[in-house]
């Protein structure tokens, strides 16, 4: 799980509206102390979904180019709950520093925009697929990164 998660800078997010309308999107992320964080704009549908329905499915999947078989791409899917971190919380500052380390000069600009919000994801289980007939749902307390 750590290998798959650690190979990416973005996460695929499945969210849904309060009415249950599905949305798939992606976002850059950081993992800090086993929590996964995204910093997202209100202009994105997934941000409204996370406000209204704070559950998500987070997917990390190997590249089509690097896989041996398209039908059995290695992947890990986390079932996660989302919490909004207010800007005046010390956690917000600490995590945004990690975003700046990882993603550079764009982060100070995004931090200055009032429509951007920080969400923390927690998880208690994940499904990992390592190939044909090699899928497992496992308990996990937090996100693994390499």
- Mean pLDDT throughout 22-40? 96
Strands 116-131 and 55-61 turn out to be: unpaired
The domain segmentation of the chain, as residue ranges, is 2-139
65-103 residue pLDDT tens = 988 888 889 999 999 999 999 999 999 999 999 999 999
Helix and strand numbers, DSSP H then E, in the chain: 4, 7
Residue bearing tokens 């975003």: 99
CA 48 distance to own-chain centroid:
15
pTM comes to 0.93
Determine which of 43-52, 74-83, 129-138 has the lowest per-residue pLDDT on average: 129-138
Q: What CATH architecture is 2-139?
A: Roll (2.30)
Closest CA to 52 of 16, 26, 27: 16
> Which pLDDT does position 69 carry in this prediction?
87
In the chain, % helix, strand, coil (3-state, to 5) comes to: 25, 45, 30
């Amino acid at each position: 799980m750590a290998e798959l998660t650690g190979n990416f800078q973005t996460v695929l997010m499945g969210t849904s509206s309060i009415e249950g309308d599905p949305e798939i999107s992606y976002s850059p992320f950081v993992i800090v102390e086993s929590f996964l964080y995204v910093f997202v704009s209100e202009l994105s549908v997934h941000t409204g979904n996370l406000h209204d329905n704070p559950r998500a499915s987070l997917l990390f999947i190997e590249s089509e180019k690097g896989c041996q078989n398209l039908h059995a791409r290695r992947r890990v899917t986390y079932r996660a709950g989302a919490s909004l971190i207010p800007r005046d919380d010390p956690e917000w500052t600490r995590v945004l520093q990690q975003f700046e380390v990882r993603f550079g000069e764009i982060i100070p600009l995004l931090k200055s925009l009032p429509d951007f919000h920080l969400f923390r994801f927690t998880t208690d289980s994940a499904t990992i697929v390592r190939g044909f007939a090699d899928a497992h749902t496992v308990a996990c307390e937090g996100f693994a990164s390499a």
